[in-house]
């Protein structure tokens, strides 16, 4: 059993993939080929954003968004410690400071009730809020955007795990001033290498983002009007993603069916699921459960491993406790919800092609050891 089975997906689209890849090889335009523009168009059609800009990866996407908003040294960006480190890393990389607040123990996403206190107490000039849509579930953007308007802040959605998700039928990519995502192979929409994208409805931001992603390009590649970076989505990855996005809507439905099977079969157990609020649709980048204590979690993970069933702990060490971020001067106990979730959480195999018999195998191990 695979944690994420990309082989099954590839088998279904292999012939079409081969055609797309062969075209790129025949054309010889490995950077800036027509597939990049076509894929960006498909992204906008899918999510409803006016502008979709491909880039090298999800971390670059975050950095480009921060750079486009002129966020740098002396500035603060509110985000959470319960996330992959790239969220904090991008903020630090542009010279700004992560200003951390805790998450809900229900949705695992940023708790907006803590934002205003963080703004008012920070010794940095807070310029943006960066919610993380954990495990494929959008954060509470309506509330977050209201707070941002009150304090004249920008919102950058870290949707690395949530592209394809929605709230009230409005899709991720349209909730924030700028939204970023990742096409890392393990993501719900993933390529066969690194890739990312940025979404915005602002013509001005889109123009700046496209420039920043190509060395601060102006009218041509030798006209550099700003300090940028080298962060282009290459043509081969765009071609692969063009094929994958054609089946993405179906795969989102399949992911929900897998999640519903897990929930239905585990509802009698003393475990907790990520809460999916009414009118929200997750893309279930992960299916994660919370056990009563760390010992139970660790024991079950060991038993799963003994039965050749993969599982992953996301995230065992919260960002504020990572050694590279000691300079932020946070300490153990500052974010109790994030720390508690990290000690009891376990992510189980999740992908659109997971069979019910595989779910039953997972459940047998958990039932026998909980």
Q: Quick one: pLDDT at residue 23?
A: 98
CATH 3.90.1150.10 fits 248-369, yes or no: yes
Helix ranges, 2-140 (H): 6-27, 34-47, 58-68, 86-93, 115-121
Q: Rounded to whole angstroms, how far apart are CA atoms 104 and 302?
A: 28
Return the pLDDT at 221.
Answer: 84
pLDDT for res 169: 87
CA 326 to chain CA centroid, nearest Å: 24
Domain boundaries, the chain: 6-101+108-245, 248-369
Cα 12 from Cα 247, distance rounded (Å) = 10
Question: For position 97, what pLDDT does the model report?
Answer: 98
Mean pLDDT for each consecutive 10-residue tract of the chain (370 residues)? 96 98 98 97 98 98 99 98 98 98 98 98 98 98 98 98 96 98 98 98 98 96 95 98 98 98 97 98 98 98 98 98 98 98 98 98 96
User: What CATH number is given for 6-101+108-245 in this structure?
Assistant: 3.40.640.10
Give the SS3 label for residue 41. Answer: helix
């Amino acid at each position: 059993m695979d944690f994420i089975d990309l082989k099954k997906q590839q088998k279904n689209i292999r012939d079409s993939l081969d055609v797309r890849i062969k075209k790129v090889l025949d054309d010889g335009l490995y950077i800036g080929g027509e597939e990049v523009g076509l894929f960006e168009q498909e992204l906008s059609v899918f999510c409803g954003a006016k502008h979709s800009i491909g880039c090298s990866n999800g971390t670059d996407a975050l950095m480009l968004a921060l750079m486009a908003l002129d966020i740098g040294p002396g500035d603060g960006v509110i985000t959470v410690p319960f996330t992959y480190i790239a969220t904090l890393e991008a903020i630090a990389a542009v010279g700004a400071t992560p200003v951390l607040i805790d998450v809900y123990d229900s949705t695992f996403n940023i708790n907006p009730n803590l934002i205003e206190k963080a703004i008012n107490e920070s010794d940095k000039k807070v310029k943006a809020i960066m919610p993380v849509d954990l495990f494929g579930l959008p954060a509470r953007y309506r509330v977050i955007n209201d707070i941002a308007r009150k304090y004249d802040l920008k919102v950058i959605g870290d949707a690395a795990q949530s592209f394809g998700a929605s709230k009230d039928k409005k899709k991720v990519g349209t909730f924030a001033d700028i939204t970023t995502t990742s096409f890392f192979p393990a993501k719900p929409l993933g390529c066969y290498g690194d890739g990312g994208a940025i979404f915005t409805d602002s013509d001005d931001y889109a123009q700046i983002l496209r420039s920043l992603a190509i060395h601060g390009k102006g009218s041509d590649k030798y006209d550099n009007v700003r300090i940028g970076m080298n962060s282009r989505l290459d043509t081969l990855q765009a071609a692969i993603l063009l094929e994958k996005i054609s089946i993405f809507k179906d795969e989102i439905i399949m992911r929900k069916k897998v999640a519903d099977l897990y929930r239905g079969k585990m509802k009698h157990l003393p475990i907790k699921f990520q809460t999916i609020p009414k009118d929200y649709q997750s893309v279930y980048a992960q299916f994660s459960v919370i056990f009563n204590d760390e010992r139970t979690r660790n024991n079950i993970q060991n038993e799963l491993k003994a039965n050749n069933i993969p599982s992953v702990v996301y995230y065992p060490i919260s960002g504020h406790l990572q050694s590279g971020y000691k300079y932020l001067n946070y300490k153990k106990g500052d974010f109790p919800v994030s720390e508690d979730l990290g000690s009891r959480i376990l992510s189980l195999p999740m992908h659109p092609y997971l069979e019910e018999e595989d779910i039953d195998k997972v459940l047998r191990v958990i039932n026998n050891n909980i």
